[in-house]
């Protein structure tokens, strides 16, 4: 009886060991295969498009809102790039507006870091890239000191223009009525309700931007969210500008862009005049702009993530992806 019980227990123990070994071997290989299938492709062909359906994501595109907010974001390589993109992705995903995120890298080709990040962000996105020429003109130091209009390139101009060209190639004046274009730098901070406000744009809408020009906010002081009555503009930096507003403080209907195929950002524009010169291609006076939002409720802030102090970072290059 004891011998029989011994053999039974031994058989059960051996069978459990065999099953455990099989699960460990085939389970590991199956997970490896699954993991490799989920990795994004490394053959980067611009544009890289990441589409999220309404069933896959709750935010960033409610079925009740047919208007599409095209959010154009220039980005460049730096230590805080992924952190800033993550913050913007979070705001976009919480919005009830339908969002299409157009991310344009300042690089020759789309980088794996940004491509992998966008593949995991729960917002439909388009990934483009164009490198900004870094060649400074002759006598650049003389122009910087004595000439008001500098001829060196503004950061983000080539990237914004590429995104505008992508929209012109993709859409026409027949199917543009539900589209709104907004320029969102990745180092700003955005309340998700801002994109709901943007989706209400008819032609060109404006709103205040926090922490700009050395004051609490800059932009239109709206009255009852209406265009018909303006109180004043709260401006500190260059108040003589026709449209004294930050890049994060306006949105434009897609049809307005398509009706003016030559309307782009120009590198010859003076520093601080990019927004004014760009809007001048569509409107001539402040009265033509739609006043959205409220000076008591700012939804976008012009901030920068502090550059981290990194020492001996080479020791982590084999372990971490920053």
Does residue 163 lie in a domain region? yes
Mean pLDDT of 303-310: 83
| Peptide linkage before 115 cis (omega within 30 of 0) | no
Is 209 part of a structural domain of the chain? Answer: yes
- pLDDT for 308 equals 85
Helix intervals (H) in the chain: 2-38, 81-94, 112-120, 140-146, 157-170, 193-198, 254-259, 274-279
Q: Judge whether 32 lies within some domain.
A: no
Binding site, by residue number, is: 187
Is 275 one of the catalytic residues? yes
Tell me the backbone φ, ψ of residue 128, rounded to 5 degrees: -120, 170
The confidence score (pLDDT) of residue 192 equals 95
Is 140 part of any domain?
Answer: no
Which pTM does this prediction carry? 0.75
166-170, 201-205, 292-296: least confidently modelled range: 292-296
pLDDT grade for 270, boundaries at 50, 70 and 90: confident
Look up the domain containing 74 and give its range.
48-135+150-301
How many independent structural domains does the chain possess?
A: 1
Assign residue 53 the CATH number of its domain.
3.90.550.10
Q: Is 241 helix (H, G, I), strand (E, B) or coil?
A: coil
Residue 235 domain-assigned? yes
Residue 239 lies in a domain: yes
- The predicted pLDDT at position 229 comes to 39
Instruction: Quickly tell me which residue has 């009740």 as its tokens.
Output: 64
Structural domain contains residue 29: no
Nearest in space to 75 (alpha carbons), one of 107, 49, 38, 35? 107
**For residues 87 and 209, what is the distance between their CA atoms, to the nearest angstrom?**
17
Residue 77 lies in a domain: yes
Q: Which of 56, 105, 240, 275 is catalytic?
A: 275
Q: pLDDT tens digits, residue range 153-200?
A: 678 899 999 999 999 999 998 889 899 999 999 999 999 999 999 999
């Amino acid at each position: 009886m004891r011998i029989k019980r011994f053999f039974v227990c031994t058989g059960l123990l051996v069978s459990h060991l065999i099953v455990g070994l099989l699960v460990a071997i085939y389970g590991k290989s199956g997970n490896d295969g699954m993991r490799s299938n989920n990795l994004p492709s490394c053959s980067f062909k611009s544009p890289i498009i990441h589409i999220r359906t309404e069933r896959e994501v709750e935010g960033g595109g409610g079925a009740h809102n047919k208007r599409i907010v095209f959010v154009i974001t220039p980005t460049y390589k730096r230590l805080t790039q992924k952190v800033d993109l993550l913050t913007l992705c979070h705001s976009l995903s919480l919005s009830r507006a339908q969002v299409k995120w157009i991310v344009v890298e300042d690089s020759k080709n789309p980088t794996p870091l940004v491509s992998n990040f966008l593949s995991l962000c729960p917002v439909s996105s388009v990934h483009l890239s164009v490198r900004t020429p870094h060649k400074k003109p002759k006598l650049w130091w003389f122009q910087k000191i004595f000439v008001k209009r500098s001829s060196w390139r503004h950061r983000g101009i080539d990237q914004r223009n590429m995104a505008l060209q992508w929209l012109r190639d993709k859409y026409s004046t027949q199917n543009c009525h539900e589209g709104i274009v907004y320029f969102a730098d990745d180092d700003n901070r955005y309340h998700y309700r801002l994109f709901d406000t943007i989706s209400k744009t008819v032609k060109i809408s404006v709103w205040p931007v926090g922490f700009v020009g050395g004051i609490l906010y800059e932009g239109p002081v709206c009255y009852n969210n209406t265009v018909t009555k303006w109180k004043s503009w709260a401006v500190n930096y260059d108040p003589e500008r026709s449209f004294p507003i930050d890049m994060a403080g306006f949105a434009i209907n897609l049809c307005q862009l398509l009706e003016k195929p030559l309307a782009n950002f120009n590198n010859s524009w003076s520093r601080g005049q990019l927004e004014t010169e760009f809007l001048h291609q569509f409107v001539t006076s402040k009265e033509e702009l739609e006043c959205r939002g409220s000076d008591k409720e700012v939804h976008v802030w012009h901030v920068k993530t502090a550059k981290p102090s990194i020492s001996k970072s080479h020791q982590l290059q084999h372990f971490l992806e920053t």
